[in-house]
């Protein structure tokens, strides 16, 4: 990132921190469960969440992992993460180790995000005994947060068994550089989990133009193929992938965005045009539901592995 872009990131996400954390779609349980299942999160994992934002993914992983560290460029986001950590306190459930035996490791789900796997009886959680709750609470209490730069992670080589990043790669001017850093701090045989919006190639230009109007810190979204390519170019091996669509209401999205006031009408009009004409120019399937404008973000989940020997 250039100094100007660094400043823009700080400005945007300082303003967005609280509404970003509160946006219901960002805590989508189906998507979180799917991510952790595909990554095969387990109780021996030492996890780093890069560009952790308000700690949504990090806190979800802390229920199971041995340790979780979150790092973000924006101090206001780290404060939101600390607040979330304190509020959750792991409630009264401890999940079992995640596995993907009941979920496909690759493929495309063009339907909306489905209900949480816990509600569908897939065994992602079980009531906690007093001892197991104590252990889970200590895991949450032991989380670490740090303000830092994803381009130069302040950790030793091979420090983590799982390195993650959610909804951040489209803000990086050089996503390959960030992924190279994630690879460096990932232990041999470890996994890297990336979750981000990935429009189809023929929609990318319109999608990026729309997102830059909504959030000036947006750089460019990668297509699913582009995301996989930067991983393979770094010598990483695909372990699992999945595409799904994350539904949200337009007005909720706008209220959670630090959108320049002069752009609000234009952004709303672009979505309304797609919804009214039935032509999906943005690749976000804008549509009316009970008089409310909804849209879908096209989301890819990619799990790649760090080779044991290079």
Cα separation, 33 vs 272, in Å, equals: 31
pLDDT at 1 over 80: no
Q: What is the pLDDT of residue 307?
A: 78
Give the per-residue SS3 of the chain.
Answer: CCHHHHHHHHHHHHHHHHHHHHCHHHHCHHHHHHHHHHHCCCCCCEEEEECCCCCHHHHHHHCCCCEEEEEECCHHHHHHHHHHHHHHCCCCEEECCCCCCCCCCCCEEEEECCCCHHHHCCCCEEECCHHHHHHHHHHHHCCEEEECCCCCCCCCCCCEEEEEEECCHHHCCCHHHHHHHHHHHEEEEEEEEEEEECCCHHHHHHHHHHHHHHCCCCCCCCCHHHHHHHHHHCCCEEEEEEEEEEEEEHHHHHHCCCCCHHHHHHHHHHHHHHHHHCCCCCCCCCEEECCEEEEEEEEEEEEEECCCCC
pLDDT digits (tens, 9 = 90+) for 142-180: 799 999 999 999 999 999 999 999 999 999 999 999 999
pTM of the model: 0.86
CA 190 distance to own-chain centroid: 19
pLDDT at 53 over 70: yes
Provide the pLDDT confidence category of residue 122 given band limits of 50, 70 and 90. very low
pLDDT at 90 over 50: no
Q: What is the pLDDT of residue 173?
A: 96
Q: Do 195 and 113 contact (CB within 8 A), yes or no?
A: no
Determine whether 180 is exposed, middle or buried from the number of CB atoms within 10 Å of its CB (0-12, 13-18, 19+). middle
Better-scored residue on pLDDT, 180 or 106: 180
Provide the pLDDT confidence category of residue 109 given band limits of 50, 70 and 90. low
Q: What is the pLDDT of residue 55?
A: 96
Average pLDDT taken over every residue of the chain:
87
pLDDT at 104 over 80: no
Question: Going from the N-terminus, what domains does the chain have, and what CATH number goes with each?
Answer: 3-200+216-249+297-305 (3.40.50.150)
């Amino acid at each position: 990132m250039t100094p100007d872009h660094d400043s823009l990131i700080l400005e945007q996400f300082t303003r967005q921190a609280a509404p970003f954390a509160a946006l219901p779609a960002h805590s989508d349980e189906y998507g979180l469960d799917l991510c952790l299942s595909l990554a095969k999160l387990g109780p021996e994992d030492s996890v780093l969440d890069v560009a952790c934002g308000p700690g949504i993914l990090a806190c979800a992983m802390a229920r199971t992992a041995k340790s979780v560290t979150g790092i973000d460029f924006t101090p206001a986001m780290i404060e939101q993460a600390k607040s979330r950590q304190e509020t959750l306190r792991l409630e009264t459930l401890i999940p079992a180790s995640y596995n993907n035996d009941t979920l496909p490791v690759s493929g495309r789900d063009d339907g909306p995000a489905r209900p949480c796997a816990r509600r569908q009886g897939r065994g992602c959680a079980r009531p906690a005994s007093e001892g197991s709750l104590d252990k889970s609470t200590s895991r949450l209490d032991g989380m670490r947060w740090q303000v830092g730069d994803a381009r130069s992670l302040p950790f030793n080589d091979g420090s983590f068994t799982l390195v993650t990043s959610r909804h951040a790669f489209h803000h990086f001017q050089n996503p390959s550089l960030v992924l190279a850093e994630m690879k460096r701090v990932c232990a041999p045989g470890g996994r890297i989990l990336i979750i981000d919006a990935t429009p189809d190639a023929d929609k990318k230009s319109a999608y990026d133009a729309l997102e830059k109007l909504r959030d000036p810190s947006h750089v460019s979204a990668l297509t699913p193929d582009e995301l996989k390519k930067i991983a393979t170019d770094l010598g990483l091996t695909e372990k699992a992938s999945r595409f799904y669509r994350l539904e949200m209401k337009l007005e909720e999205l706008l209220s959670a965005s630090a959108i320049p006031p002069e752009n609000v009408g234009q952004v709303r009009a672009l979505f309304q045009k797609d919804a009214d004409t039935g032509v999906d120019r943005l690749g976000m399937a804008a549509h009316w539901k009970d008089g409310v404008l909804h849209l879908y973000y096209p989301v890819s989940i990619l799990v790649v592995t760090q080779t044991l020997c290079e």
